[in-house]
Amino acid sequence: MVEKLVFAGICLLALSSPVAAGEFQRAALVHVDRDGAKWAEKTLKKLSLEEKVGQMFMVRLIMPQFVNIRNPEYLKWLDQIKRYHLGSVLLTVPADGPSLSKSEPYEAAMLINQLQHVSKVPLLVAADYERGLSMRLNGTTVFPHSMAFGAAGKPELAEGFGRLVAQESRAIGVQWNLMPDADVNSNPVNPVINTRSFGEDPAQVSALVSAYIRGAHGSGLLTAAKHFPGHGDTATDSHLGVAAVNRSREQIEQIDLPPFRAAIQAGTDAVMVAHITAPSLDPDTSRVATNSSAIVTGLLKQKLGFKGLVITDAMDMGGLTSVYPEGGAAAARHAALDTLNAGNDMFLLFSDLDGAYKGLVDAVRKGEVSEKRIDESVLKILRAKASVGLNHATQVDINALSSIIISPENLAFAQQVADSSITLVRENGHMIPLNRQGASGSGPAYGAIQKEGSKLLCIIFTDDVRSDNGRQLQRELRARVPDTRVIFVDPRIAAGSMPEIQSAMNAAENVIAAIYLVPVPGRAVRTEGATGVNTISMPDATATLLQSILQAKRDRTVVISFGSPYFLADFPQIENYVCAYSNAFTSEVAAVKALFGEIPFRGRLPVTIPGVAKRGTGMDQPALALKK
């Protein structure tokens, strides 16, 4: 431990000295030039077997808001980088109840600089920024879910998205975003993909996937198309168990594979393989796609011709660990060998890193795997590092963050995306647009005054009232109607909230029911007859409450879905239905602006709501001419 502390102190002292001009990372077009190719080949030759194997592993760094260099977790990261010669790290943050405990851009950049400084071979720093850096970091540009881009229907918005996320990611030292999601979401009850997908049309998803990759590459960010061979037609969350795609090979060819073909054509740097079964592609029920050579090598590499990095989804997910029930180091070794032999190049997030790493080294030494096979994958990894300039510099310029992160232009663009996506699916002519009331001077210092007889009532249905869901919505509504009555409910308090809501409805002229059914990967919930499953359905307690609201004031209630658009199928009696597709605050702002006629409704459903509305549905409604 003393050695570790001294080592960390030396690293910090080294970082305190100025970095010469030109020694910072530069975000340029993703490209392996001649110097980069030579660096990759020379570096490979210098590495020992142990160092080569370590390049194939990515570990998760759960970063709190601030990291002290004597923090045991920080010392553990240093030890892992040195002991296992890690090739890549995934930057994330801890969960805090219903929310993530987000960090800050400066803290993230400083941490990455420190970790790069101690690594012999530059680290490939990755992140899961599906909606931009705001998923993990405060003070960054907030984009909506991918399905909002499908509703907007403009590839140029997806390209701009890729470009801006790349700029902010590279500013903090992240070179690889595990995006885009190339899944075609064709299953309405899919609990894990859903709004993370661009939509259900293979052609549109392909166009948006390609556009995102172009934008990201242009500003120096590596991409990873996921989740091969397609996770869109599943009803099980692969974080919790094995999900099955029970389509025919022809259906997979026609529906699921086109976006991956498009991603490969666009030059995606990596393809992430899913922990799902696809019997028509590999009838061996003991295998998932991750450890199936028929799917990884036969389909992805040989038939689709993909030459880049093939990476696993997280190896600690239930969809993979359930295939290796023996557990422990033996399971880790077994899983590492199977996925390597299937054709994967990089292993993400093993729960037993030591068992997997040592098992793979041991397998090479015993001749179970050739070192040439290891070299093949490691060279790809090193070339990826060179393609983003890590062979020239590993440090980022902390002083540059303030001119790149969350610029006014980035904010305006993100809001444009959300504004363009808001979709009016149903409207009965009695309610929309809502009337704005003038604010009377400055409001009270500590929140708005809610009158018992408020004419506008907003009920926010969320999975947990402690979350951020609905907070920006509340502010936006009260900026237009100061005495808006806002009531937050979740399944635990829904029944007890009934009397208060009924009283408020009696006085209200118009009711807004804001529904937050957002896919959360790995969320284990209890449902009738099953435990530990994920679902995108509204819990019974809140469903009963919504039913009572619709019975009392159906023609004067507008339901806004800030998540799954499929919600309408469960409540076909809804007369006014708006889709925002995301709980991002930009989507909350956009929805309110559309409701009050400040912007037009112009989005189109990128998916079919079974029995209710087809893909492409959307009622145009122009913006009102606002009085000056």
Q: Return the active site residues.
A: 239, 313
- Residues 277 and 284: their CA atoms lie apart, in Å, by 9
Residue listed under structure tokens 């592993």: 57
3-state secondary structure of 85: coil
SS3 assignment for 547-607: HHHHHHHHHHEEEEECCCHHHHHHCCCCCEEEECCCCCHHHHHHHHHHHCCCCCECCCCCC
User: What are the phi and psi torsion angles at 269 (to 5°)?
Assistant: -75, -30
- Residues 576 and 587: their CA atoms lie apart, in Å, by 18
Find out whether 320 and 335 touch, Cβ atoms under 8 Å: yes
Question: Considering Cα of 499, then 505, then 507, then 513, what sign does the dihedral take?
Answer: positive
Q: Which structure tokens are listed for 7?
A: 């080592």
Q: Which structure tokens are listed for 16?
A: 């305190």
- Residues 557 and 554: their CA atoms lie apart, in Å, by 5
Cβ contacts of 617 within 8 Å, gap of 6 or more: 423, 425, 604, 605, 609
Q: Residues, the chain, total?
A: 628
3-state secondary structure of 409: helix
Q: Identify residue 103 by its one-letter amino acid code.
A: S
Question: Considering Cα of 29, then 377, then 302, then 350, what sign does the dihedral take?
Answer: negative
